[in-house]
Chains A and B, each alone.
Chain A
Amino acid sequence: QQPVQSPQAVILREGEDAVINCSSSKALYSVHWYRQKHGEAPVFLMILLKGGEQKGHEKISASFNEKKQQSSLYLTASQLSYSGTYFCGTEGGGSRLTFGEGTQLTVNP
């Protein structure tokens, strides 16, 4: 089942912070975050695993609440390069990665 992302879109000024949320109705083993710029391939940001392990880029911060089946991606001191569509993908253990519909982030000067 497809995870639900919120908000659908957000506009920031450079230097502002944002939080993108991802929620699933099923028990999760892992949550993956990707960013995709227009016309380009999705790029990996982070994986959060059940049990607390995380793999990802140092400058990216995220959380995973296993009980609530929710994850949040924290973008602090945003830069122009952060603009793009952010996708969360959820995986229930041995099954497929299912992506949400994305959150479109625009960072203006």
Chain B
Amino acid sequence: EAGVVQSPRYKIIEKKQPVAFWCNPISGHNTLYWYLQNLGQGPELLIRYENEEAVDDSQLPKDRFSAERLKGVDSTLKIQPAELGDSAVYLCASSLGQVHEQFFGPGTRLTVL
């Protein structure tokens, strides 16, 4: 069974530039999560989808971050414009539901210069 796929794995951009991350969850997983993980910290939820609906986006900085999950499968997280403080690992995870184990992708390490 294929795991959660994320791309790119690494991204280096200059501040004020836009950036996008892509996630393909495990087939059949209706719930998809985007997390931000800073060095030495636990993952912090940015947004949770149930199918194509964003059911928890209260922690998503909507002035610069946006996300979509078209057709309830793949998802894209975008930052525009990026700031120095956005440097972190962005993790995507999927699960069969909220109270089920989450399968994490390898993450995208973003460096903003």
B-side contacts of A55, CB under 8 Å: 100-101
Question: B56: which of A43, A89, A96, A99 is its contact (CB, 8 Å)?
Answer: A96
Chain A interface size, as a band, is 20 to 34
| Chain B, interface residues (CB within 8 Å), range | 20 to 34
Count: A-B pairs, CB below 8 Å: 53
A96 vs chain B, min Cβ distance (A): 5
| B107: Cβ under 8 A from any A Cβ | yes
Known contacts A41-B105, A96-B48: does B99 contact A87 (CB below 8 Å)? no
Residues of A within 8 A of B (CB): 2, 29-30, 32, 34, 40-44, 47, 49, 55-56, 87, 89, 91, 94-102
B binding-site residues for A, Cβ under 8 Å: 4, 40-45, 48, 56, 59, 91, 98-107
